[in-house]
Structure 1
Amino acid sequence: MSDPKSLALFYVADGYRLEKQSWLLSASLAKAHEGDARVRQVAYATAPNRAEMRDITHAIYEVCGVELRTLSAPPKWKKPYPHGNKIVAACDDRGATHSVFLDTDMACTASLAEFMDLAPDTCAAAPEGRPTWGGKNARWTRAYAHFDMEVPKERVKLLRGAKLEYVPYFNAGLVAFPEAKQDDGRRFGEHWLDTALDFDLNCAIANKRPWLDQITLPLTMKRFGYKTRVLDELHNYSLSHRMDYSQTPDAVILHYHRMRFLYQSPQWPDLRDTLVDKMPSAHRDELDAHIKDIESSLDAEDSSAST
């Protein structure tokens, strides 16, 4: 009999800015998966930042069932690449059949349990909003050629602006994947790291940063034979620079980038209340002050912009 399905939702809360963002993410994930014992959360921080984590963070993690793990040391990138922490975390064995990586500047409004149904050779991600890399100088052709591959014939529709038909290019803020070992005995995270390192160190091509994770995600999938479930924008709904926030759809994941965008969305009051409800009373005053600072600063910013 096959092992029962399980899902690890993981993120990198390394440093105080990401740590603070993870309060809302962990609370919203906990609410969206209440009663589902198959789903658990794992947060990662480097050893120095883990030692400096504040009590309020430990408190909300305990309530939300978040396991805190120390992030492994980074590999020898060509030059420092903090975005690579997600790839390092993806390599960790969380003991689940499936995993979903999430950026900390996200909030969840519905269950992600569907990703436990991904086939052992299938990953899932939503297309990027715009062609931020590879549109000039045949870069995608050269990137695939580095691994002796041709650019895929299939195209995805990018999610912002003109919504171009483009080579497979995904936002790496949410990536779902199986933890099954492939024919070479390695899992997806290890394949992604192998590809990203090789590309970073050995492929002479410009402007890899900060997009190295997103460039190498489709390269990894093709290189190691993974199929791709292309997600719609409701699974990774970017809130940045929208014209009318009153029309924000009921997205599964809101990718807000900056708090001023989330604050304008109709989902913010419920998300704020979820965070307040989850926070232990001993830290409620600190959280209330944090929320007041956010809302008052954004109100002041709006007033200044309107004068």
Structure 2
Amino acid sequence: MRRTSHEMSTETLSIFFVADGVRLEWQSWLLASSLACAHDGRGDVRLYAYASEGYLPEVHAATRDLYEVCGVELRPLPDTPNWRGDYPHGNKLVAASDRRDGARAIFLDTDMVCAKPLTPMADLPADTVAAAPEGLPTWGKENDRWERAYAHFGLPLPKERLRLLRGRKLEYLPYFNAGFVCFPERPMTHDGKRFADHWLETALDFDHNCAIGNKRPWLDQITLPLTLARFGYATEVLGETWNYSLTRRKDYSQTPDVEILHYHRAAFLEQAPQWPAILEDFWARMPKHHHDHAHACLTEMGLTL
């Protein structure tokens, strides 16, 4: 990255997540407060939360008030596309397709907290998508699935390999964890479409028209590298600090200084050395008249408070 996280970008960086449902809403409290903490005073960063039109009336006052404190704009999800079957994970692609200000955007899974500024992502080249490798080969390790997936779009199997981040850290075809994806917001191709349009279009085509098994819940992660290859996007392969999985680590005292902690389950988050400061900042941002409600919800989520 060419500048430090303390220098101001001339372009707006949009950071967004989906809080469509009660538990996602609770998780979003920690994510929103941690994003606000990491980007305090940054006029070049915009924060967005998305919920479906049907769920928006159910969003709790505590959430709305915290979002206001944190500078998070709550928006309705665009209309759900015609997936072949139910696919809640597809909400990230739907949210990504919304129109926001700025040159770049970052999607974050809601079961994450931000520990350092994400502003270095604003310096990536305009044609570049950034993501960290998946931990394990959760799809396509057996038989010829990847070959058939690329062939569906008339593409050869890529020659490049990346190193997965967990287990035996296999050398593997391009395969990324879609919990953190940074992408250009402006059209980069002759068709006038943006990366998010291409990703959603690719996922829908693959979902309906490629006769291949076990697509769910991996459809977003399968079609991410397919989209990059179809439309010629460059790839920035991120290190694990940008999407650091806390799941079943042997020694949490060795947790590195990271940008993003991806905790999956609340019990893993509590083991991270960064957790006490993150929790303290959350309570400082959540309006005090909501503390009892927030305590009850976070306890039900699995945190020991």
* TM superposition shift of 1:25: 0.1
More helix as a share of residues: 1
Aligned AA (1:217): L
How big is each residue's C-alpha offset from its partner over 1:241-282, in whole Å with a ceiling of 9 and x where there is no partner?
Answer: 111112111111000000000011111111110110111122
How big is each residue's C-alpha offset from its partner over 1:20-70, in whole Å with a ceiling of 9 and x where there is no partner?
Answer: 000000000000001110001000000111110001000100000000000
Between 1:286-295 and 1:222-231, the stretch displaced more is 286-295
How many angstroms apart in 2 are the aligned matches of 1:170 and 1:269?
Answer: 29
Q: Which residue of 2 aligns with 1:80?
A: 86
CA contact (8 A) 1:118 1:177 kept: no
Identity of aligned residues (%): 58
How many angstroms apart in 2 are the aligned matches of 1:165 and 1:80?
Answer: 32
> Which runs of 4 or more aligned residues in structure 1 lie more than 3 Å from their structure 2 counterparts after TM superposition?
288-295
CA contact (8 A) 1:276 1:287 kept: no
Pairs within 5 Å for 1:204-215: 204-215=211-222
CA contact (8 A) 1:122 1:178 kept: yes
SS of 1:219 mapped into structure 2: helix
How many angstroms apart in 2 are the aligned matches of 1:155 and 1:287?
Answer: 44
How many angstroms apart in 2 are the aligned matches of 1:291 and 1:274?
Answer: 15
Q: Which residue of 2 aligns with 1:150?
A: 156
Q: Which residue of 2 aligns with 1:266?
A: 273
* TM superposition shift of 1:294: 5.8
How big is each residue's C-alpha offset from its partner over 1:64-95, in whole Å with a ceiling of 9 and x where there is no partner?
Answer: 00000000121111101000000011111111
CA contact (8 A) 2:23 2:301 kept: no
How many angstroms apart in 2 are the aligned matches of 1:298 and 1:35?
Answer: 31
How many angstroms apart in 1 are the aligned matches of 2:301 and 2:257?
Answer: 23
Query: How many residues matched?
Result: 296
Q: Which runs of 5+ in 1 are unaligned?
A: 300-307
CA contact (8 A) 1:90 1:189 kept: yes
Cα 1:289/1:82, change in 2 over 3 Å: closer
TM-score, length basis structure 1? 0.94
Aligned AA (2:141): G
CA contact (8 A) 1:77 1:197 kept: yes
Q: Which runs of 5+ in 2 are unaligned?
A: 1-8
**Which of these residues, 273, 282, 285, is aligned with residue 292 of structure 2?**
285
Pairs within 5 Å for 1:1-307: 4-182=10-188, 183-291=190-298
TM-score, length basis structure 2? 0.94
SS of 1:47 mapped into structure 2: coil
Coordinate RMSD, CA, aligned: 1.4
